[in-house]
């Protein structure tokens, strides 16, 4: 992740006196900047258009027996889950509506046509800040706008449609969806999800086989910093930790194991040797 220029900040005569400048310029400003841009209706719709083109091209020849394994990192997790499940895209008059619905139509279990599309085989998240969606979960006792099922609606609440996806998959597959969440201990963007997500969805883990996978500290600099993990010094490795998943053998091995885990019963049912 490269440093991004921030007009008016680096020009300040006081900027060099601030601590964690590299961390601020890379991890914090990059992530928050991407989030702010994406949440804007204009940029968000352009992102949806691009994902739609790629999704339709990649899934155009999928068949009944195929499975889609989603792998997301950092802000990509937020973007994907917002597009798939957020109610802010439900207004037919807004930019991005057509693209979002085209994406949702190719994934099994998502309205407006939940019984069609390719079924998910697994979800893998890396350095994921998706825990922030828990802050958008709605108190169902509130007197607010509700859907046809009587559930309180919020424009950024992903849990109703995520729960519908997981429920539909469970009914069709009679199995819980594998979800592996990789988190480097030194990654300031990563959060554990295994206890959080079931509480947002059904509270009983009926639909999700979710596990947090804490990354092994294989870099000698991470090992040296471990005793100082709760001090500001640990931030000096935040940038490297956030990008470490892409070249991790641990991630690659677990991902392959998960795909094999999903493929074996499908191959057995199809009589594949």
Which tens digit of pLDDT belongs to each residue from 34-78? 666 666 677 788 888 999 998 888 887 888 889 999 999 988 888
| Per-residue model confidence (pLDDT) at position 6 | 46
pLDDT, greater one: 182 or 237: 182
Please state, in angstroms and rounded to a whole number, the distance separating the CA atoms of residues 64 and 27.
41
Q: Would residue 7 count as lying in a domain? A: no
| Per-residue model confidence (pLDDT) at position 72 | 93
pLDDT(258) > 90? yes
Q: Would residue 92 count as lying in a domain? A: yes
Q: What integer is the mean pLDDT of 129-142?
A: 56
CB 8 within 8 A of CB 37: no
| Per-residue model confidence (pLDDT) at position 228 | 75
Burial of 104 from C-beta contacts in 10 A (0-12 / 13-18 / 19+): buried
Mean pLDDT, rounded, of the chain:
78
Q: Would residue 12 count as lying in a domain? A: no
| Per-residue model confidence (pLDDT) at position 157 | 64
**How does DSSP classify residue 155?**
T
Nearest Cα to Cα of residue 62 among 17, 93, 107: 107
pLDDT(123) > 90? yes
Q: Which domain holds residue 262?
A: 40-267
Q: Would residue 35 count as lying in a domain? A: no
| Per-residue model confidence (pLDDT) at position 269 | 59
Residue 115: count other Cβ atoms within 10 Å of its Cβ: 8
| Per-residue model confidence (pLDDT) at position 56 | 86
Total number of domains in the chain:
1
Nearest Cα to Cα of residue 165 among 209, 111, 100, 105: 111
pTM, two decimals, is: 0.78
| Per-residue model confidence (pLDDT) at position 36 | 61
Instruction: Return the SS3 of 146.
Output: strand
Q: Would residue 47 count as lying in a domain? A: yes
Strand ranges inside the chain, DSSP E: 67-73, 119-126, 177-183, 208-214
| Per-residue model confidence (pLDDT) at position 254 | 94
pLDDT(163) > 50? yes
Q: What's the sign of the alpha-carbon dihedral 110, 116, 118, 122? A: positive
Q: Within the chain, how many helices (H) and strands (E) appear?
A: 10, 4
When mean pLDDT is compared across 35-49, 182-196, 212-226, 239-253, the lowest value belongs to: 35-49
Q: What integer is the mean pLDDT of 102-111?
A: 91
Residue with tokens 């990354």: 215
pLDDT(156) > 70? no
Q: What integer is the mean pLDDT of 228-250?
A: 85
Burial of 247 from C-beta contacts in 10 A (0-12 / 13-18 / 19+): exposed
Interhelix angle for 159-173 vs 75-85, to 10°?
80
CB 108 within 8 A of CB 169: yes
Nearest Cα to Cα of residue 95 among 40, 33, 153, 35: 40
Q: Would residue 203 count as lying in a domain? A: yes
Most confident option among 39-48, 102-111, 138-147 = 102-111
Residue 112: count other Cβ atoms within 10 Å of its Cβ: 9
CB 181 within 8 A of CB 128: yes
Residue 15 — very low, low, confident or very high, per pLDDT cuts 50/70/90? Answer: low
């Amino acid at each position: 992740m490269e440093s991004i220029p921030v007009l008016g900040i680096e020009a300040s005569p006081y900027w060099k006196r601030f601590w964690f400048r590299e961390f601020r310029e890379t991890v914090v400003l990059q992530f928050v900047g991407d989030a702010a841009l994406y949440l804007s209706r204009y940029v968000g719709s352009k992102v949806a258009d691009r994902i739609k083109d790629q999704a339709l091209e990649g899934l155009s020849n999928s068949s009944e027996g195929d499975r889609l394994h989603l792998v997301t990192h950092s802000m990509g997790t937020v973007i994907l889950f917002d597009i798939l499940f957020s109610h802010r895209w439900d207004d037919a008059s807004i930019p991005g509506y057509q693209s979002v619905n085209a994406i949702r139509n190719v994934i099994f279990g998502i309205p407006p046509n939940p019984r069609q599309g390719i079924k998910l085989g697994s979800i893998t998240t890396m350095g994921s800040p998706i825990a922030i969606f828990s802050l958008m979960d709605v108190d169902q006792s509130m007197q607010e706008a509700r859907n046809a099922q009587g559930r309180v609606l919020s424009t950024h609440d992903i849990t109703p449609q995520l729960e519908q996806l997981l429920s539909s998959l469970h009914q069709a597959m009679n199995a819980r969806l594998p979800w592996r969440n990789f988190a480097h201990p030194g990654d300031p963007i990563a959060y554990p999800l295994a206890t959080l997500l079931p509480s947002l969805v059904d509270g009983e883990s009926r639909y999700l086989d979710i596990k947090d996978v804490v990354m092994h500290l294989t870099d000698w600099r991470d090992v040296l910093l471990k005793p100082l993990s709760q001090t500001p010094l640990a931030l000096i490795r935040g940038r490297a930790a956030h990008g470490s998943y892409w070249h991790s053998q641990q991630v690659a091995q677990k991902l392959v194991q998960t795909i094999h885990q999903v493929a074996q019963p499908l191959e057995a049912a199809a009589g594949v040797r």
